[in-house]
Chain A
């Protein structure tokens, strides 16, 4: 079964706007990661946040983690048409961190 659940399932915005995607999970984790997948391609790692971190930045990406609520958010600022993709959160369970679980993803469309 999927560990992470992304929300919303789909998001459509104009270029230049910010995009926020959320992820909820069920069990304790070591790390939470966000990946991007362009249509029909493999996944690309974006950012990893450890369970003892609350916020992390990478370029136009900002990730937050709230372990008490078992949730994370990914913010993409000043979006570009090239950001159009599916975004997945992935968690590795703290007792078995070989088994990474992905959510169903958020499909982001950035209109030029």
Chain B
């Protein structure tokens, strides 16, 4: 399967714990995006990478959130000191360079903070 993969698919954690999610984009895609989606809503943009450079971050990305893409391939999203409001689906997407911005989404990681 050469699509976008995310791991884990589900994560249950207690409030205050740290969690880390991984995204493996389509191999030839330089662009990588993280989104958060809550029930009944569309995805909300969190951050964007061009290769290993994090070029844009949303104001939604508080200082408890950090994302990396160290070698321009896979990416990690870490949430420190999780809060119940962090419970959501975290989606990763990738796209190739160019003016067309069709994004290919992974299946998401569903986070539940208890």
Contacts and interface: CB of A to CB of B under 8 A. Distances in A.
Interface of A: 2, 4, 30-31, 33, 35, 40-45, 48, 88, 90, 92, 96-105
Interface stretch (B12-20, B64-72, B105-113): B105-113
B102 interface: yes
B85 interface: no
B48 A98 contact: yes
A45 B102 contact: yes
> Would you list the 10 A-B pairs with minimal beta carbon distance, nearest first?
A102-B42, A42-B105, A43-B105, A42-B107, A88-B42, A98-B48, A102-B43, A45-B102, A103-B42, A104-B42
Interface residues of B, number: 29
A99 B49 CA distance: 11
Contact of A45 (B42, B91, B99, B103): B103
* Chain A binding surface SS class: strand
21 contacts: A2-B44, A30-B99, A31-B101, A33-B103, A40-B108, A42-B91, A43-B91, A43-B93, A45-B104, A48-B101, A96-B56, A98-B31, A98-B55, A98-B56, A99-B48, A99-B56, A100-B103, A102-B35, A104-B40, A104-B41, A104-B42
Nearest to A42: B105
B4 A42 contact: yes
A97 B101 contact: yes
A100 B108 contact: no
Nearest to A105: B42
Contacts of A100: 33, 45, 101, 103
A54 B91 CA distance: 30
B43 to A, nearest CB: 5
A42 B106 contact: yes
Contacts of B103: 33, 43, 45, 100
Nearest to A96: B56
A30 B89 CA distance: 27
Interface in B21-75: 31, 33, 35, 40-45, 48, 50, 55-56, 58
